[in-house]
Amino acid sequence: MKQLLELSQKEKKLVVGLMSGTSVDGIDAELVEIQGNGINTKIHQVDFVTVPFPPHFKEFVLRNSQVGTSDVADITRLNFLIAQLYTDAVKELCKHAGVELSQIDLIGSHGQTIHHLPENIEMFGKKVSATLQIGDPSVLAKLTEVITIGDFRVGDVALGGQGAPLVPYFDYLLFRSDKVSRALLNIGGIANITYLPKGCKEGDVLAFDTGPGNMLVDQLMKLLYNKDYDEDGETAFSGTVREDLMDYLMEDGFVKSVPPKSTGRERYGKPYIADILEKFRKYDKEDIIATVSEFTAKSVYDNYNRFLFTGSRLSEPAASGGHNGGLDELFVSGGGAHNRYMLTSLQRYFAPAKVGIAESLGISSDAKEAICFAVLANETVSGNSANIPRVTGAQRPTILGKICLP
């Protein structure tokens, strides 16, 4: 406890942020020096590694993320195994950075989402919404002997929120501007957008999941080409967008649904892909990849148009009034930032707004989410709430995460 108190008083901390997303491609581990907290947070990116998961691990996790194919014994073991893999990733990061593990002040770990069920369902007389991230932070704290914060989403869900997205608070701390209206788009397995109108206050921030990120294209690449993803969007560039398939995809209920909203593999998994292939079998493989890649970009723009372009379409207007609408800059991060096809489509949709990658903001697009969870951990030990109720739909701001002692 003394260690925790001392840590909370420390002005500069060396923090590790760990992220492994719905793509299940690997563990992103960032070493970041954090100074201050809250609105005065300053970060210095020290080092970053992505540690791939072992062979066949992705299939194993995906099987255990789905109703019907999951196994409770596997999930129980995975909860510990993933924490062990995270521990290895922290050690690899330290080695890479030339830093001793004992010099690390704090770890912030997102965990591996295996199920996300933010909708209320009645069970045994109670309304239940839930989310499950595994790779237990207590195991991580014990194995690394570093104070670890994990399970960031649970507290927000307990208070009626979606538990997602959590990146918007981080985006607000680091990327708000008095001069321009900005949006930050992360294209991981799922895509989520944060909108920071010019001169915004925390209560003005809007953000939500827009729908699929790389998840649909990744699954189709696996089935049609036996590849994990469409490298640089090359396959999409070689195909033609098919309008009837596009129209069909644009009917997606989640894309049209009003924020707050968040989604996951439950919605865009195997049955979704099987349906597309069944109905549009007539088209060449590359046309399917092109159309679904185009849909991934278009669904982001459709969300922007519906819910961000005019604040009047939202149930609740911007807290400081009248800021909604207009966009000067959009910055893309996540693995999707490498997909030139998606980036080009976004540039076309969002013109005349400038569309670039997160690097233009001085942050690595691959490391951004890992850095975010380091900063969120720093907020937890500083006693600051980090959910934005307008974004997640929670009843109130709350301190996120579980504090696990070594």
Ligand X SMILES: Nc1ncnc2c1ncn2[C@@H]1O[C@H](COP(=O)(O)OP(=O)(O)O)[C@@H](O)[C@H]1O
336 binds, among ligand X, Mg ion, none (CB under 5 to 8 A by kind): ligand X
Separation between Cα atoms, residue 157 and residue 142, nearest integer Å: 26
229 binds, among Mg ion, ligand X, none (CB under 5 to 8 A by kind): ligand X
171 binds, among Mg ion, ligand X, none (CB under 5 to 8 A by kind): none
Our finding on whether 21 is near ligand X (CB under 6 A) is: yes
Q: Rounded to the nearest 5 degrees, what angle is found at the Cα of 41, between the Cα atoms of 368 and 383?
A: 105
Our finding on whether 229 is near ligand X (CB under 6 A) is: yes
Nearer to ligand X, 229 or 307 (CB): 229
218 binds, among ligand X, Mg ion, none (CB under 5 to 8 A by kind): ligand X
H/E stretch holding 285 reads helix 285-303
Least spacing, CB of residue 4 vs ligand X, in Å = 29
Separation between Cα atoms, residue 260 and residue 209, nearest integer Å: 8
Which position among 22, 23, 263, 291 is part of the footprint of Mg ion (CB under 5 A)?
23
Count of residues engaged in binding Mg ion, rule: CB under 5 A: 3
Nearer to ligand X, 338 or 390 (CB): 338
Strands 402-404 and 148-150, by their bridges, are antiparallel
334 binds, among ligand X, Mg ion, none (CB under 5 to 8 A by kind): ligand X
Nearer to ligand X, 14 or 292 (CB): 292
Contact 205, 194 (CB under 8 A): yes
Least spacing, CB of residue 229 vs ligand X, in Å = 3
Our finding on whether 25 is near Mg ion (CB under 5 A) is: yes
- Six-digit token pair at 350? 């969002």
Our finding on whether 25 is near ligand X (CB under 6 A) is: yes
Give every CB contact of residue 4 below 8 A, 6+ residues apart in sequence: 147, 381, 403, 405
232 binds, among ligand X, Mg ion, none (CB under 5 to 8 A by kind): ligand X
Strands 182-187 and 190-196, by their bridges, are antiparallel
Our finding on whether 21 is near Mg ion (CB under 5 A) is: yes
Contact 277, 326 (CB under 8 A): no
Nearer to ligand X, 155 or 212 (CB): 212
- Six-digit token pair at 47? 């080092």
Our finding on whether 165 is near ligand X (CB under 6 A) is: no
**Looking up tokens 């290895």, which residue turns up?**
88
Q: Amino acid identity of 161?
A: G
Contact 143, 89 (CB under 8 A): no
Count of residues engaged in binding ligand X, rule: CB under 6 A: 18
Separation between Cα atoms, residue 312 and residue 201, nearest integer Å: 18
Contact 255, 299 (CB under 8 A): yes
Our finding on whether 22 is near Mg ion (CB under 5 A) is: no
Closest chain position to ligand X (CB): 335
Nearer to ligand X, 148 or 365 (CB): 365
- Six-digit token pair at 81? 């195994």
Nearer to Mg ion, 206 or 215 (CB): 215
Q: Which stretch binds Mg ion (CB under 5 A): 15-23, 106-114, 118-126, 309-317?
A: 15-23
Nearer to ligand X, 290 or 381 (CB): 290
- Write the DSSP assignment of 189-228 as a string of letters: SEEEEEEE-TT--GGG-EEEEEEESSHHHHHHHHHHHS-S
Q: Which residues pair with 49 in a beta bridge?
A: 29
Interaction pattern, residues 309-348, with ligand X; x per rule: CB under 6 A = -------------------------xxx-xx---------
Nearer to Mg ion, 21 or 269 (CB): 21
Least spacing, CB of residue 257 vs Mg ion, in Å = 25
Q: Which stretch binds ligand X (CB under 6 A): 16-24, 69-77, 90-98, 271-279?
A: 16-24
> 155's torsion region: left (phi>0), alpha (psi -120 to 50) or beta?
alpha
Contact 333, 184 (CB under 8 A): yes
Q: Is residue 168 reached through a cis peptide bond, with omega within 30 degrees of 0 on the bond before it?
A: no
Q: What are phi and psi of 286, to 5 degrees?
A: -70, -25
Which position among 133, 194, 214, 384 is part of the footprint of ligand X (CB under 6 A)?
214
Map the footprint of ligand X across residues 29-58, applying CB under 6 A: none
Residues lying near Mg ion in the complex (CB under 5 A):
21, 23, 25
Residues lying near ligand X in the complex (CB under 6 A):
21-23, 25, 188-189, 214, 218, 229-233, 334-336, 338-339
